[in-house]
Amino acid sequence: MKKIILFFTIIALSFSCSCDSNNSNNNNNNSFTNSMDYEFTITINGEVHKVKGNTTNGIPVNMSSPPNHYINNRCDISSGGISKTVFLLLSDITESNYVSGQNIQCTISLPSQSIGINQANVTLNGPYFSALYTSLGAISSLGFSATSGIISNASTLNILPITITDLGTTSSNPNSPIYNFGETVKGNYSGTIYLASQVNSSGINYNIPVQLSIDFKALRIY
């Protein structure tokens, strides 16, 4: 009888170890090859919108990825050749990487990427900005200007001097879509932008000041 009990005990232990091994292999297959912190903070007239997280809790980028590894609220920079685009998105306040603020989106298009000041095309949109324009009596379709007054040259609109302080390091994609992330690209801006209140025969009057600061540590998807 003791031999029979011992036999079944050995079988149960063997099965348990096998399951643990399979679970471990599955976890390894679905895990990231490294861990990387990322974050962004966008402050508008003193209101802070912030996302902060780590890649081990999910990939905060717009890409095909295992469902259990995709996480809302983006903070990444992708390559279009010489140009680079930073995507900062807060769309889900229930996510683990949410810190504060409301639904907001900021896209920063850098014509090139270099340490120092980069004249970038910046798009600010999302529900928060729509409500902001309405509350200030501004015309949302006209974007913003970095200087106040009558503007007649549209090429100067939506341009901000983004300071890049760190170019980060290359990320690799050895087991698509799992990334081995390099160091983040770091940049910032702080100043006053102006929204438009009216259009007249001379041009567009950008006379509504908004205090804006942007700070990011974005994951490199290249």
| Residue-wise pLDDT tens digits, 96-129 | 999 999 999 999 999 988 899 999 999 999 999 9
C-alpha distance from residue 111 to each of 60, 84, 103, 125 (Å): 23, 7, 27, 20
User: In the 8-state DSSP scheme, what is residue 113?
Assistant: -
Q: Is 104 domain-assigned? A: yes
Within-domain flag for 54: yes
DSSP summary character for residue 182: -
**23-61 burial: b if 16+ Cβ within 10 Å, else e:** eeeeeeeeebeeebebbbbbbbeeeebbbbbebeebbbb
- Tell me the three state secondary structure of residue 91: coil
Assigned domain for 138 exists = no
Place of tokens 């402050």: 43
Sequence-ordered list of residues with C-beta below 8 angstroms from that of 168, at least 6 positions apart, any chain: 182, 183, 184, 185, 186, 220
Reduce the DSSP state of residue 115 to 3 states and report it.
coil
Confidence at residue 29, expressed as pLDDT on a 0 to 100 scale: 40
Residues 68-84 have a mean pLDDT of 85
Where residue 71 falls among pLDDT bands split at 50, 70, 90?
confident
In this predicted structure, what is the pLDDT of residue 41? Answer: 98
Domains contained in the chain, number:
1
Residue 198 lies in a domain: no
The structure's pTM equals: 0.81
Which domain does 182 fall in, by range? 30-124+159-192+211-221
Residue 110 domain-assigned (yes or no): yes
> Do the domain assignments include residue 12?
no
Q: Does residue 71 lie in a domain region?
A: yes
Inform me whether the pLDDT recorded for 17 exceeds 50.
no
Residue 130 domain flag:
no
- Which of 55-59, 160-164, 173-177, 178-182 comes out lowest in average pLDDT? 173-177
Residue 174: per-residue pLDDT = 61
Provide the β-strand partners of residue 105. 89, 125
Q: Kindly tell me if the per-residue pLDDT of 148 is higher than 50.
A: yes
**Are 212 and 162 contacting, i.e. CB atoms less than 8 angstroms apart?**
no
